[in-house]
Amino acid sequence: MKIMKITLGLCVLASLATAEDKSPSKVVRVVGTSEVKVVPDRAVIEVGVEKQDPSASVAKHAEDAAARRILTTLRASGVEEKDVQTTFLSLQPQSYTKKGVRISYFVAAQTMTITVRDLPKLDTLLEALIKAGGNRIDSIGYETSDLRKYRDQARDLAVKAAQEKAGALAKALGQEIGKAQSIEEVPESVAMANTRLYGYANEDKLRTVAPSIAVGQKSISASVMVSFELN
């Protein structure tokens, strides 16, 4: 009987301890955000060539010839092979009706993604690519080669922002914050969009568009959720 009473007493104490563990902690939970502005040091452009002809073979050969000229121009401009990649290749039949007559032809297209590490030469390179046979500029995006460094900076600033915010909230209640109980990085939900330059291009049009291409700044942001003890 005594053994049963002792066992029952231990179970009650264990239940009380568990209940205490599940009791809500006095915490203040905040989200800290930060943004670091960086001047990009390289660009990623998508340049394409598109040719059409009633003959699939002729269209493809014309596209291939233009693509080879573009590759030659890139090498002559100092762009390394590792920075050039064919990312789209297509040969498709097309047709339309004109005055009741159905006209069929083939379209051969290729797109190359090029990393330009010497930004001052970007405008000159684009002109050279158009002269070589490129007739599409599909996009341009700017990057920084030291992204990890700036992401770390943004994350550190986000943690400091969270701490300052939590301290301000606690102070408004006449209290203070203690040690951090948890911290979690909030994933970025919106990626930075590239500048889009859709459409056909020619040498005269490029001279008009090129001066309006500006590097600007790239925003690198970070967000963290932190829970602090509330004293």
3-state secondary structure 101-114: EEEEEEEEEEEEEE
Whether the CB-CB separation of 187 and 155 falls below 8 Å is answered with: no
The amino acid sitting at 13 is L
Please give the DSSP secondary-structure letter assigned to residue 210.
G
Topology (CATH level 3) of domain 42-143: Alpha-Beta Plaits (3.30.70)
pLDDT tens-place string over residues 45-88: 999 999 999 999 999 999 999 999 999 999 999 999 999 999 99
Q: What is the pLDDT of residue 216?
A: 84
Q: Record the pTM.
A: 0.65
- Write down the CATH number for the domain with range 25-41+145-189+215-231: 3.30.110.170
Question: Where in the chain are the domains?
Answer: 25-41+145-189+215-231, 42-143
Query: What are the two backbone dihedrals, phi and then psi, of residue 177, each rounded to the nearest 5 degrees?
Result: -100, 150
pLDDT tens-place string over residues 195-211: 333 344 444 444 444 44
Q: Same topology for domains 25-41+145-189+215-231 and 42-143, yes or no? A: no
Q: What is the pLDDT of residue 31?
A: 95
Q: Which residues pair with 47 in a beta bridge?
A: 112, 137
Whether the CB-CB separation of 143 and 191 falls below 8 Å is answered with: no
Residue 133 CB neighbours (<10 A): 18
Q: What is the pLDDT of residue 187?
A: 85
Residue 189 CB neighbours (<10 A): 6
Closest CA to 119 of 150, 88, 100, 140: 140
Residue 140 CB neighbours (<10 A): 19
**Coarse DSSP helix, strand, coil percentages of the chain, rounded to the nearest 5 percent:** 40, 40, 20
Q: Which residues pair with 28 in a beta bridge?
A: 228
Closest CA to 158 of 188, 179, 178, 181: 188
pLDDT tens digits in sequence order for the chain, 231 residues long? 545 444 444 444 445 455 455 545 789 999 999 999 999 999 999 999 999 999 999 999 999 999 999 999 999 999 999 999 999 999 999 999 988 999 999 999 999 999 999 998 999 999 999 999 999 999 999 999 888 999 999 999 999 999 999 999 999 999 999 999 999 998 875 333 333 333 444 444 444 444 446 788 888 999 999 999 998
